[in-house]
Amino acid sequence: MDRVRERRLVTFDTAPDVGGVAELFAMAAALERAAVQRYRQLAERMEGSGEADLAALFRRLADMEAGHEDGLGAWAAREGVAAAEDVVFDWDITEGITEADIASAGGTAALSPWKALALAVHNEERAFAFYARIAAVATDAAVRAYAEQMADEELSHVTLLRLERRRAWRRAHGDAAAAGPSLGPKGMAAWIARREAAAAARHHELAALADHAGEPRLAALLRRLAAGTEPPPAADGTPAQWLRAEIRRLGDDYNRLVDIAEGGGDAETVRLARDAAHRLTACLAQLRDAEQGLGGG
């Protein structure tokens, strides 16, 4: 018997306790549809602004997301999962980017290349963290495996878009890429190890502070990110302030790693820098997602 079903609005803040693969598929398909729409709008905006390269990038991303949606449909058919068309995913609108900014290309406000890329980075980071949270709490092995695969795909988009955003900023402000230090492979590996150990130590201490502040979910995230137990520095302020400070620290590390990777040098040093930057991208995405949940402070 036919019946009318209400459309369900899903956001990045939707509770990640997914009941099964059918529900995960419905959320993922809705997210892909929203991404395709937004990237096509951004491509039109960049084309209208004379940014042909960025327009091509956003069209490529739209095609990739459309391909993911098609792949989800094929997977659902194999698994016998009915496609749920009643789910709608709503992208975040970042601070400083209004609805007018992302309206269709005849709107009154124009997106700069950096703002367009900032919007895309923000939402891809939240998409990665969304799937990572689902995987972290899933008790169903199939849900966990599919969520991890979806998170990996979103993280590859974050990596690409963060690099493009850096380049757009530098083009707009006349900044040249900083030359990376001549560390060599051994020096690069040692520098990365020191930085990652220091970050792990801070995350371990911040987890204890988050527990004390009554933020158990944040504490659990920080413990998952922590990989070491070195004595960490003390932290003052609110959980939101701790996170913002840590995001700034890790952002500086990320920028230095990318400068090294883009500065040339021997292939092994470049590979080490790129791999470390990729790991840091995942960490930053999850911390920014947690910051969204805390709000001000």
Band (pLDDT 50/70/90 cuts) for residue 248 is confident
Query: How far is CA 198 from each of CA 13, 209, 222, 233, rounded to the nearest angstrom?
Result: 30, 17, 13, 10
Cβ contact 41:109 at 8 Å: no
Q: Provide the pLDDT for residue 283.
A: 83
d(CA 170, CA 187): 28
Contact 231, 288 (CB under 8 A): no
Tokens read off for 125: 């980071």
Mean pLDDT for the chain overall: 74
Mean pLDDT of 38-49: 84
Q: Where does residue 96 fall: left (phi above 0), alpha (psi -120 to 50 degrees), or beta otherwise?
A: left
The region of weakest confidence among 63-67, 130-134, 143-147, 292-296 is 292-296
CATH 3.40.50 fits 184-294, yes or no: no
| Euclidean distance between the first and the last CA atom of the chain, given in angstroms as a whole number | 51
The percent of residues above 70 in pLDDT, for the chain, comes to 74
Cα 187 from Cα 271, distance rounded (Å): 13
pLDDT digits (tens, 9 = 90+) for 220-239: 777 777 754 333 444 456 77
Predicted confidence at residue 233, as pLDDT, reads: 42
pLDDT value, residue 173: 67
Reported confidence tier of residue 30, pLDDT bands at 50, 70, 90: confident
Q: What pLDDT does 164 receive?
A: 84
Spatial distance between the Cα atoms of 170 and 117, rounded to a whole number of angstroms: 13
Give the strand pairing for 8-10 and 87-89. Answer: parallel
Please, are residues 232 and 205 in contact by the beta-carbon 8 Å criterion? yes
Kind and range of the H or E element at 273?
A: helix 267-294
**Predicted TM-score (pTM) of this structure:** 0.65
CATH topology match: 8-173 vs 184-294: yes
The secondary structure element, H or E, covering residue 238 is none
Cα–Cα distances in Å, from 276 out to 190, 197, 261? 12, 12, 10
Per-residue confidence at 3, pLDDT binned at 50, 70, 90? very low
pLDDT tens profile 58-114: 898 888 888 888 888 887 787 777 656 666 777 665 544 555 555 543 432 456 777
CB atoms within 10 A of CB 108: 7
Pick the CATH number of 8-173 from 1.20.1260.10, 1.20.120.330, 3.40.50.620, 2.130.10.10: 1.20.1260.10
Return the domain boundaries, the chain.
8-173, 184-294
